[in-house]
Amino acid sequence: MTRLTVTALSALGLAFSASAVAYPMQWQNNSLTYLYGTDFQLDPKTQQTLTFEHVSGRNAGDLFLFVDAIHYQGAENGFGYRDTFYGELSPRLSFGKLTDSVSNDGLIRDVLLAATYEFGRGDLNNYLLGPALDLNVPGFDYFQLNSYYRYADQPDGGRGVWQITPVWGYTLPAGRSDVLIDGFIDWVVDNDGEDYHANLHFNPQIKYDMGKALGWSAKQFYTGVEYDYWKNKYGVNNGNFGLDTNQSAISLLVKVHF
């Protein structure tokens, strides 16, 4: 199963690369976000993060990429790093687009095959693959429901668990501008042996469209907060080795789209 997952993920990457040549990009958006937050667990308490994000769409699917450059304030993490990085590359293959059957009516907008490659400092390599749905949920700008078989390629051997990842965006009018509430949940639904436990990562951002309020372009410049709740962070069971692994952290943010 794990070899099949990695092979299928590689095949999906090749298929998406081929589609990138066959199908020109329909749209894209890039952004930089600066975050300053505290009350993180397992890692040093206070962190600064600079995040680059890219999202784009083609006739065959879509692509999301982000990379976090993280600086620990006045401390080192468990590996002795004051700075680290983490990123995800997430292509999705759209059966609705390939068959011209994307629907704005009913609950299901599109059916997709989703993949994610997670990477980071310290030989971090995780591979995820599974079915996904884009849903028509009233009021939401978008709502995705991705499900994955998650294979963690660890130095002491690989392991696999199932993960469910909803992703959403919701815009609310606020005076002369708007408030955007977007984010994701990563729910790893089961344990894999004694070392990796089920965990829940809830990560919404609440952002005010400052650019629109100031009379600049809308959807270009945001200020706000990010809330990061992670139960059993990194799959470490809360209380193991006397550690508190249930994280509840808030970060201030500034975000610029280009």
- In total, how many domains does the chain have? 1
Q: Give the number of other Cβ atoms within 10 Å of residue 107's Cβ.
A: 10
Q: Does residue 241 surpass a pLDDT of 90?
A: no
- Considering only CA atoms, which of 226, 230, 227 is closest in space to residue 201? 230
H/E segment holding residue 114: strand 108-120
Q: Does residue 156 surpass a pLDDT of 70?
A: no
CA 82 to chain centroid, in Å, comes to: 23
CA 256 to chain centroid, in Å, comes to: 18
Per-residue pLDDT at 215: 94
Paired tokens of 99: 């068959």
CA 48 to chain centroid, in Å, comes to: 18
Q: What Rg, from alpha-carbon coordinates, does the chain have?
A: 19
Please report, for the domain that includes residue 233, its CATH number: 2.40.230.20
Per-residue pLDDT at 19: 54
> Using one digit for the tens of pLDDT, what is the confidence trace for 108-154?
999 999 999 999 998 889 999 999 999 999 999 999 999 999 998 76
User: What does pLDDT average to over the chain?
Assistant: 91
Positive/negative CA dihedral, 231, 117, 119, 33: negative
Predicted model pTM:
0.90
> Using one digit for the tens of pLDDT, what is the confidence trace for 79-119?
888 999 999 999 999 999 999 999 999 999 999 999 999 99
Over range 4-14, report the average pLDDT: 57
Per-residue pLDDT at 155: 57
Per-residue pLDDT at 1: 45
**pLDDT-derived band of residue 25, with 50, 70 and 90 as boundaries?**
confident
**Contact between residue 132 and residue 147 where contact means Cβ atoms under 8 Å apart:** yes
Per-residue pLDDT at 117: 95
Give me the percent of the chain exceeding a pLDDT of 90.
Answer: 78
| Residue 54 lies in domain | 2-257
Per-residue pLDDT at 79: 82
Per-residue pLDDT at 166: 98
